[in-house]
Structure formats: C-alpha cells, structure tokens
Structure 1
C-alpha cells in the first residue's frame, strides 16, 4: 500500500501529468522554456525527487536568498511594430488633425445643428437664441481654437475674454469669434441625437451623450501610433464637482473630486493610447474578462490589443496581483509593479517577516518574483523580469544607497499617466465653470488630442517647439486656415471690425487702394488704427481711408498707420 500510495514517477511521466493542468502551463510559456528544457534534458541523469522539487519550485512560492548571482527570468521577445502609422505634414495643426479629423468634426457640426433645431424658440424679444446660425466646419475649428487659447490665457470668467476693459482686455478673441456666437455654440454643443437614444440597448447609458465620440477618439489614438515596449496603466481624475452619480473621490489626486478614467500610456513620453471612463457598476470592460475583479479587468481591457507581442506593463499597488500577472504571462506579456503585501495568492510569510533598513526578502514562483525591501518603510513589488539584484542610487538627501533594480525600473516606467496629466494641466482646456459633464469630457478629449499630437510632433522633429509655442502655433494655423475675414469685416452695423492676421508682424504686406465696388468707384474703409483711438472729448474717432492691406483685409492710412499696424504688438 505504501508503495502504491507514493509511487515514484519518471521525470517524463511527472512532466506530462504536470502539463495537463492549464493553470500551471502559464508558467512554462515561451520565456520559461529554459526551465522546461533543463528539466527534460535530465530525464536519465537526475533523480526523480530532485526533479519533483524543481517542479514544485515553479508550482509554489519558494523563498530565495537575495544574492547577486540569481539569474533574472528572460523577457518575452518583443514583436510589436512601434511608431507613427499615419504620415502627416510637419505643420503642427496637421498632427492635431490626425485625431480630430473631418469625420469627428462633421459629427459635432451635424449634432450641434440638430440639437439647436430641436430646442423650442426663445420667447423673449431680444433673446440671444434668435440670432442662432447653423455652424460649419470652420466655426467648430475656430471654436476649438478659442477653447485651447483659454487654457493659455487664464481668466476667472468666460465673458472676460471679450471684455473691453483695458486692464484685462484681450482683443484677439473678439476678432476670431464674437462672445454671442461662442456662447451659442457652447450652449448647443452636442455629439449625439437625443431622439435615437435607447437606454435598453446602449452599451454605456451613463455616457451616451459623449460615448460614440469618445470611442472614435480612442480608436484614433490607437491607429495613429503604436507604443514601444514599456507601457504603464494608472488612473486619472478629471476635476468635476457637479451633480453626477458616478463622481469619484480620490484623496491622493490634486482634484480629489471628479470623473475617473483608467488610462494606458507609453511610459517615457506619456502618449495616451487607451482609456476607459469609470461610471460605477455599468463601466464597459471587455466582456471576456468578466471573471476578474475591477482592477484586473480594467488593466486587461486596456492592454488587450497589445497582448501576445512581448510588451512590458508597469502597474501600481491598486492593480498588481499574482492573478493578473499570471494571466499576462500566459499571453506573453511581462509586468512589474508595487503590490499590497496582503494580496491573495502571495506567500503567507510575505507580510509577516520584519525587516531591518536595507534588508531584502524575496520569493520565486516560476517566472514571478515577489520582493520586499525596507527603506524608511516596507516596499513590496511583483515582477516577471527581475531578480533580487541591487544597484547604487541616491536618495533625496543625496546619500548613495543600494536599491533593488526592480524598484529603480519601476520609478522610471510608472509615470506615463502622471506625465500626461501634469503636462495637460499646464494649459488646461477644461474649465471649472463647465456644468454639463459631457461637455467637460469633450474639453478633456481636446486636451488629450492636443497632448498626443505634441508627443508625435516632438518625435518627428529634431528641433521641436516648446509645448507653449506649439499650442500657439496650432491656434495660429487654425485661424489662418479656417477664418473668413470677409464675413466678419463686412458685417453691417459694426465699426472698425476686422480679423487679425496672426502673421501680420512677420509676413510681406503691401499697401493698396481699396478695390472699387458696384456702387462706388472710389470706396473707403475705416482705418482700424485711427478708429481704435479716442478723441479729446472721450469719443471714438471715425476716420475713413482709401488704402488697405489685402493680406490682413483691414483699412489703414498709408502713413503712419500701415507701418504701426505691421510693426507693433499692441495697437
């Protein structure tokens, strides 16, 4: 009985029985073939008990001595094809149009006009809504330019951008679009037909007003650029304190209250490649990962298109778990990150042992390593590509200490999402006063498109513009390509109305006579320089001139107004 209950198996038989378990096969994936090869080559030479012990070291957690001689598990071969997949002109606006293409702008135009038509007519005699005119592609682009510029020129109220008070006046905004026109577009801004919405069939009913546009933008992020090997997943919080059932509170974030989203970014550049907006119980994750918890399902849904290509994922302790990492190993994806020491399926003694400062303790389970290191406090990490090796590094006090290599690599590759959020907040398109959640999400999408376009612009240019100058250049190009000077300048009842040419200080401009019309052989126009002044009595000056600048399409006196207008920043 004793011999039958504890039969001795040959190494090959034991290997076959072990391979029958699907859960254990993940430990023998491509990168772990060396383990299998070493075991199989010792069929006739090694003892069965030794082989069983080696198999158990892959099946269960085994304590490892923190020495410099332990080989690190090999990485999966990277088979992805990173880089920009859609060519474009070197013009900064062309990079932005990779994401905000004509299809997206057309949806905004159609749904905004449709929503305006669906609204009941204004009842007041002089209501602003009576002056509504259907928007065009050019209108939407100029509207976007103003949104972007508002992130650069910060003012406390929306109407302040059109103020004529000399203390805070910014004349350029009024020359791009009137305050009435901007407010009407913002009021009617829409992205979905209200009449076709069906809550029972919609995949994300809480996001239905922005869901289709959001998905289109995310697909653009993925099709335009493929990231390099190292990517990271983290959560982002867009500040929002309005009334919203799925608003989140995260104390560690600067905003604290807002709309949370899970994002996958390229580690070193912060390029946003994928994102999922969290709406509580109805959040749309990939249905094939329904058996996982929230943290693991969010990670797998984000990285799903990149699985099987040898990518390396970095996560923080909210997402990291042995269950998640073993699934990633099964799909040829490496990973590492901090972990909560009380996670399920970690070694029972992982969090129990007390460490002294600088001391390391580690466990190994096939390709997966769990490590704890004592600095000022305990730091716990999981990794599929590291061992217990340490390297010299300087702490905040400037003192050189020995840190585990996995922690140094984590600090280098985890900041993708934080880097994107930080750079976006320098010039925010989102404003606190925006009440409608879907309009605020749209503003955030514009921020993300602008940031991703700048990342690609820097990659394709040897001497790229700084972020600030890049944003100004984008707005300048929008005005040059989409502004219609004639429609603004000839609007009746307006004095000295004109559109500022952004290159008026750098282009080649020549004075000409105002061309004749059907009514007048020698027509005149108001000089924008003279009419911007006030006379001794405090009233505005009205002065006609027969000369104008055809490039800027403004009336100007030949002397000295033409020279002043094209050489001075302030006029």
Structure 2
C-alpha cells in the first residue's frame, strides 16, 4: 500500500481556522505514552462516498480533453495571445522586411479547437498539419502564445498561473476519486533560467519545476502545488504546521471528512500530520524517517532479526519498525500489525500488510 516536504477544512467548513490544527508543540499531544498493545478503537474511518466520473456525453479522448481544457480557458489564451502579439508588432521598429512577425494575423478559438490537429498516424507521418496551417504560421503562433497581462511582477508563476488556476477546478469537478489517495512530488523538465528551478539527480528529468501532487490510485491528478521556494502558495490556515504538513493538508483540503486514506512517503509522514488528519476523519499511511520527532523511544536502539517487526500504539496511530534488507519505519492509522504473503517466482515473502 506504500507508494514510493495543507488544510483542516473542507468546502462546507469555511469557518475553521489554523487553531484547530495540532502542532508538535501543542500541550494536547503527549507522545510519551506509546503502548505495546492497541489502545482505542483503531478501525478505519467509514468511507462515505463512491468513485464518480462526471463527464456527461464524453466518448472520445478529444471530448474528455475539452471538458478539462474548457472554452473559457481557450478563449483566455486566444485573447492574451492576440493582445501580446499586437504589443510586439507595435513596439518592434527593427523588423526585417521578410520577418515572420510582419505576417502575423490574429488567431481565434475555432482554429485552436480543430480536430484535424490530431494525425491518423500513417507510419508516424502528419501531412494533415500542412492542410491546417503553414510551418511559418505555426512558428509565429508558438512565439506569440501568451496567457496573462504581464502586470503581476511579483508572481513567480505569472506566465502560467491563469492556466493552472483554470485547470485545477476542472480536475476536481470531473472526477470523484476512490478511497486511497497518494501525495508525492514530480519534476517537470525545464532547461531555461529560473531562480527556483530544482535539481533532483534521482529524477528522470533532473532539472525543472517541482510539483507537489495529490493523485488517486489510477494516477489521476486531483490537486497540485507548484514549488517556487519561499513564495510557494500554501493555505494560510495551516501556517502553524511544519512545511511538509502544510503541503499535504493544502492538497487534501477538499477530500477530508469522508473516510479516505492518504498514502505518502517519508518526506511528508509525521505524527503531527497524521493526528491532524485523524481529527478530520481521514486515515493515513506512509514510511517515516527514523529521526522524526516523537517516535517511540525504544525504536532507536532496538535490534531486529530479518523480517522481525515491532509495533507501538498511540490512540489511533500505529508505529511499526520492520527489518527487511534494512530497517523500515512506518506510520499508519489504517492498518493492523498483521502480515501478508507475497508470491514471487520460486519463493514466498512475508511482509507487513501496510507495505503491500
């Protein structure tokens, strides 16, 4: 169940503030009382909704795409592209006689929505493109493509924020996910100059934009945050929480109080976060770093044999330490301290159920 750093409110509870979130310094949390046996009722929260796809009448990929990339967004792109191109043409007094910019003509919505942009793939040939527009027309459209007014100079995402803000509600509106949701980050390739460009050597792209994303088990993106350094936009309601907790709570804000289970890796997992999710009737499971605050004190020095495990409990929370090829630490409010058999080609392995 483990996939391999924020909000305490849903849509109907706008009056909730950050004071209802728990931080590591709150007196309400006493994490010295870990027990060997489970304490209170640890049954998973009841999941009170079902998966639903809300795309009436969509049968083909282009019809699904139009539900997400809706007409208002396309109209915005057309308007800003034409306005930007007009400014370029009016301000350019050094254009050569045969410059492509001199041939600019305003674009419109219909041209951006033509289905003939999609090839029939005859040995990867795309002759249809030439029937829609010339190569020069495509290149100048690409040069003039624009999404905003250039007025918000302090917004690092000003070039793309209108598109992101238009797409995010569409992702949520068109699909109601299943019980298990996954929080993780992704790196999108970008080789240009950017003060907040990330370098992550283990990622395939290595350089680019970093996204924090909330996805369902099918990989459908439900919400995302683009990382821009210290200016990253997290919900103000959770400013008292740690950074990793703010990320998760911001992403899952609209999916709380429904009995879902959030799956995450050790960058995000913490007792602070899990206890806040439990307050909102949301389970969580994830690997956790061994040096996280308030883990059971006997975890640090305990020595285990291969496949041996120990578990400690605090309210609905279970902390598990297990020795596979190396030590693995797990937090879960959803699972019990049980195992499952993993069938391999010629052998069987026994793993904790929360690692399956």
TM-score (norm 2): 0.85
Q: How does 1:135-214 map to 2 (within 5 A)?
A: 135-142=107-114, 146=117, 170-194=126-150, 197-199=151-153, 205-214=155-164
Query: Is 1:236–2:186 an aligned residue pair?
Result: yes
Q: Deviations over 1:526-566 (max 9, x none)?
A: xxxxxxxxxxxxxxxxxxxxxxxxxxxxxxxxxxxxxxxxx
After superposition, the C-alpha distances for 1:79-135 in whole angstroms (9 at most, x for unaligned) are: 235302341232332111110111011001000000000112462111111111100
In structure 2, what is the equivalent of residue 403 of structure 1? 351
Contact in 2 for aligned 1:238/1:259 (Cα 8 Å): yes
Which structure carries more strand by proportion? 2
Query: Does the 8 A contact of 1:321 with 1:339 survive in 2?
Result: yes
Which structure has the highest helix share of the two? 1
Q: Quote the Cα distance in structure 1 between the aligned partners of 2:111 and 2:82.
A: 12
Cα distance in 1 for partners of 2:163, 2:122 equals 27
Aligned equivalent of 1:126, options 88, 98, 110: 98
Per-residue deviation, residues 16-46 of structure 1 (Å, max 9, x unmatched): xxxxxx969xxxxxxxxxxxxxxxxxxxxxx
Q: Tell which deviates more after alignment, 366-375 or 349-358.
A: 349-358
Q: Take 1:153 and 1:280, find their aligned partners in 2: how far apart are those partners? A: 45
Distance 1:398 1:188 in 2: 59
Assess, with a 3 A threshold, how the Cα gap between structure 1 residues 170 and 212 changes in structure 2: closer, same or farther.
closer
- Whole-angstrom distance in 1 between the partners of 2:346 and 2:156: 50
Structure ID, larger Rg: 1
Alignment partner for residue 331 of structure 1, among 255, 280, 283? 280
How much has 1:139 moved relative to structure 2? 2.1
Q: Where does 1:40-189 land on structure 2 (aligned, <5 Å)?
A: 60-64=33-37, 73-119=42-88, 120-121=91-92, 123-142=95-114, 146=117, 170-189=126-145
Alignment deviations for residues 188-216 of structure 1 (CA, whole Å, 9 cap, x no partner)? 0000012xx1346xxxx000121122111
- 1:475-527: CA deviation from partner (whole Å, max 9, x where unpaired): xxxxxxxxxxxxxxxxxxxxxxxxxxxxxxxxxxxxxxxxxxxxxxxxxxxxx
* 372 and 153 in structure 1: CA distance in 2 versus 1, 3 angstrom threshold: farther
State whether residues 104 and 216 of structure 1, in contact with CA within 8 Å, keep that contact through their aligned partners in structure 2: yes
Please give the alpha-carbon distance, in whole angstroms, between the structure 2 residues aligned to 1:153 and 1:183: 24
User: Is the contact made by 2:186 and 2:211 (CA closer than 8 Å) also made in structure 1?
Assistant: yes
Q: How far apart, in 2, do the equivalents of 1:173 and 1:242 lie?
A: 28
Instruction: Sort the Cα spacing of 1:324 and 1:291 in 2 relative to 1 into closer, same or farther, 3 A.
Output: same
Q: How does 1:492-571 map to 2 (within 5 A)?
A: none
Alignment partners' CA distance in 2, 1:169 and 1:362: 59
CA distance in 1, matches of 2:276, 2:300: 23
Deviations 1:387-434 (A, max 9, x none): 211111135x642021111111xxxxxxxxxxxxxxxxxxxxxxxxxx
> How many matched pairs?
327
| Long gaps (5+) in structure 1 | 1-21, 25-55, 155-167, 409-571
Partner residue in 1 for 2:17: none
Partner deviation per Cα, 1:46-82 (whole Å, 9 max, x = no partner): xxxxxxxxxx9x97212349xxxx9982111112353
Residue of structure 1 aligned with 2:292, choices 329, 338, 343: 343
Alpha-carbon distance in 1 for matches of 2:32, 2:48 = 28
Q: What residue in structure 2 maps to residue 373 of structure 1? A: 322
What is the SS of the residue equivalent to 2:68?
coil
The answer on 1:265 being equivalent to 2:215 is: yes
Aligned 1:212-227 pairs, distance under 5 A? 212-227=162-177
CA contact under 8 A between 1:88 and 1:95: conserved in structure 2?
no
Asked if 2 retains the 8 angstrom alpha-carbon contact of 1:364 and 1:370, the reply is yes
Cα separation, partners in 2 of 1:153 and 1:265, compared to 1, 3 Å: farther
**1:169 CA displacement:** 6.8
Distance in 2 (alpha carbons) for counterparts of 1:239 and 1:398: 40
Paired residues of 2:55 and 2:64 also in contact (CA < 8 A):
no
Where does residue 203 of structure 2 map in the other structure? 253
Kept in 1, the 8 Å contact 2:32–2:294? The answer is no
Partner SS for 1:253: coil
Q: How is 1:350-365 mapped onto 2 (pairs within 5 angstroms)?
A: 350-365=299-314
* 3-state SS in 1 of match to 2:209: strand
**Cα contact 2:32–2:296 (8 A) shared by 1:** no
Equivalent residues of 2:339, 2:351 under 8 A apart: yes
Change (3 A) 1:153 1:103: farther
Hey, what's the Cα distance between the residues in 2 that align with 1:385 and 1:79?
16
Q: What TM-score does the superposition give when structure 1 sets the normalisation length?
A: 0.54
| Counterparts in 2 of 1:75 and 1:169: CA distance versus 1, 3 Å | closer
